[in-house]
């Protein structure tokens, strides 16, 4: 759902912070799914590097989105107790996705395919910091 409301001047609540970061993470899921289709040749190859760059931008966006300590959603408290580790993982994802885009532009889809699995590591952070295990 997409809603743009007039600026109300009130401070963002914890509920807003949770909703916001979940939108960002859903973007992440959609972009990875779209890239996966392209890498399996079920989507336009021209978009491969663009998806990788979008994933990098989304990881960067997520870093800011999680900065606000707001319990809720599927997030565990450990995120804010171990903030440097959590932040490092998102930065590694952003860097890896940017590298992936460069590889795609320079060496093509096959090279990207080979690299994608090692870069798009989602599960280990989810296992550590969320209630969504095994994904």
Instruction: In angstroms, give the least distance from the CB of 49 to ligand HEC.
Output: 16
Q: Which residue is nearest to ligand HEC (CB)?
A: 73
Instruction: For residue 13, give the nearest of 81, 74, 59, 72 by alpha carbon.
Output: 72
Q: Which residue in this structure is represented by tokens 């990207």?
A: 112
Which stretches of the chain bind ligand HEC, using CB under 6 A?
A: 18, 21-22, 25-26, 28-29, 32, 73-75, 79, 86, 89-90, 93, 120, 122, 125-126, 129-130
Rounded to whole angstroms, how far apart are CA atoms 95 and 114? Answer: 17
Whether 98 and 52 have beta carbons less than 8 Å apart is answered as: yes
Instruction: In angstroms, give the least distance from the CB of 50 to ligand HEC.
Output: 15
Instruction: In angstroms, give the least distance from the CB of 111 to ligand HEC.
Output: 19
Whether 91 and 62 have beta carbons less than 8 Å apart is answered as: no
* Cβ distance to ligand HEC smaller for residue 7 or 31: 31
* Cβ distance to ligand HEC smaller for residue 22 or 105: 22
Distances in Å between the Cα of 23 and the Cα atoms of 38, 52, 73 are 23, 18, 11
Instruction: In angstroms, give the least distance from the CB of 9 to ligand HEC.
Output: 25
């Amino acid at each position: 759902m997409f809603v743009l409301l007039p600026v109300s001047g009130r401070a963002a609540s914890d509920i807003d912070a949770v909703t916001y970061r979940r939108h960002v993470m859903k973007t992440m899921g959609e972009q990875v799914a779209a890239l996966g289709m392209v890498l399996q040749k079920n989507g336009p190859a021209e978009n491969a590097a663009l998806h990788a760059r979008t994933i990098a931008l989304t990881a960067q966006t997520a870093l800011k989105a999680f900065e606000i300590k707001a319990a809720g959603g599927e997030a565990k408290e450990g995120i804010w107790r171990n903030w440097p580790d959590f932040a490092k993982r998102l930065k590694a994802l952003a860097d890896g996705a940017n590298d992936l885009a460069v590889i795609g532009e320079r060496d093509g889809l096959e090279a990207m395919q080979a690299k994608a699995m090692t870069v798009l590591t989602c599960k280990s952070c989810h296992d550590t910091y969320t209630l969504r295990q095994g994904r």
